A = this chain, B = another copy of it.
Amino acid sequence: MTLDKFSGLNTRISPKATIGKNVLIGDNTVIYDNVEIGDNTVICDNCVIGEPLNAYYADTRNYENPRTQIGPGSLIRSYSILYAGSVFGEGLQCGHRVTVRENVTCGKHCSIGTLCDIQGYSVFGDYVRMHSNVHIGQHSTIGNYCWIYPYTVFTNDPTPPSDICVGPTVGDYSIVATHCLLLPGVTIGKHCLIGACSMVSRDIQDYQVAIGSPARAVKDVREVKDRETGEPHYPWPERFSRNMPWDGIGYKKWLEEGQ
C-alpha cells in the first residue's frame, strides 16, 4: 500500500497507557489513561480505547480513568469506541463502529460485529460471536461458544421505566438468530437454537429449538437436519469448527481431552 493506516496522523496515546510489543495504532485513534494493550494487537484508525466515563465531564481535571485491558492478538476495526473499565481476553475481533460501555468482562477469542452496542455491566464467555448490530442491555450474561445474530436485542427492564435491571442469560453453545428479542431475566439453556424473529419471554431448556413470539420450544435441536446433506446439524460443534478450539481435533475428541 502506498497510503498507510498507521502513519501516526493525529494518533494520541496517553503516557499512562501501556502498549505491548508489535502493536499497530491507526490514524486519529486515541488511547486514554490506564489502557493496557496486549502484544500483536491492531487498533485501526478513528478508534477510542478507554473512553472516559460520564464522571469525566463533571470534572475533567481530577477524573481518574479506570483500567481497560485489551488482550494480545486483537483486531479492533475503525470507528470503534471501547469505554474505560472493561477487560477483553486475547484475540478480540471488533467490526466497525462498535460501542462497548464500562464494566464488561469479555473472554478470549470473542468477536463483536459492526455497529454492536454493548451497554456495559455484562459478562461474556470465550469464543462468543456477535454478528452486526446486536444490542446488549446491562447485566446480561452470555456463556462460551454462543452465536448472536444481527439486530437481536437483550433487554433488562420488566416494567419500563423502572429501577429494576435484570438481564438475560444465554448458556454455552447456544444460538440466537436474527431479529430476536430476549425479555428481562430469561434464561436460555445450553445448545439451544432460538429461531429468527422470536421474542423469548420464558426460560428455554437445554437443547431446545424455540421459535415464535412468544418463543415456544418446538423440538430438540438434535432433530434439525442440514439442508444439503440431510444429516443432523446440531450440536453444531460436531459439524462446524472454523476458528474454534476444536478445529483440527474434532469437538468430541476435544471434549474427551478435557478441552
Contacts and interface: CB of A to CB of B under 8 A. Distances in A.
A19 to B, nearest CB: 13
B1 A60 contact: yes
A37 to B, nearest CB: 14
Range for the number of chain A residues in contact with chain B: 35 or more
A161 B14 contact: no
Interface in A5-43: 5-7, 9-10, 12-16, 24, 27-28, 30-33, 42
Contact of A196 (B117, B132, B183, B228): B183
Interface string A156-192: 0011111110000000000101110101000000000
A210 interface: no
Contacts of A253: none
A149 B159 CA distance: 12
A96 B99 contact: yes
A228 B159 CA distance: 10
Interface centre among A78, A119, A197 (most CB of B within 10 A): A197
Nearest to A44: B57
Interface in A189-230: 196-197, 199, 213, 224, 226-228
A26 to B, nearest CB: 10
A135 interface: yes
Contacts of A163: 240, 242
Contact of A181 (B133, B155, B179): B179
Contacts of A10: 9-10, 28
B15 A2 contact: yes
A28 B239 CA distance: 45
A7 B149 CA distance: 39
A94 to B, nearest CB: 13
A224 B159 contact: yes
5 contacts: A2-B16, A129-B161, A149-B160, A159-B224, A163-B240
Given A1-B52, A2-B15, 19 more contacts: A1-B56, A1-B61, A3-B12, A3-B13, A4-B60, A7-B12, A10-B28, A24-B57, A28-B28, A45-B48, A79-B79, A96-B99, A114-B117, A115-B117, A135-B150, A149-B155, A155-B178, A161-B236, A197-B199
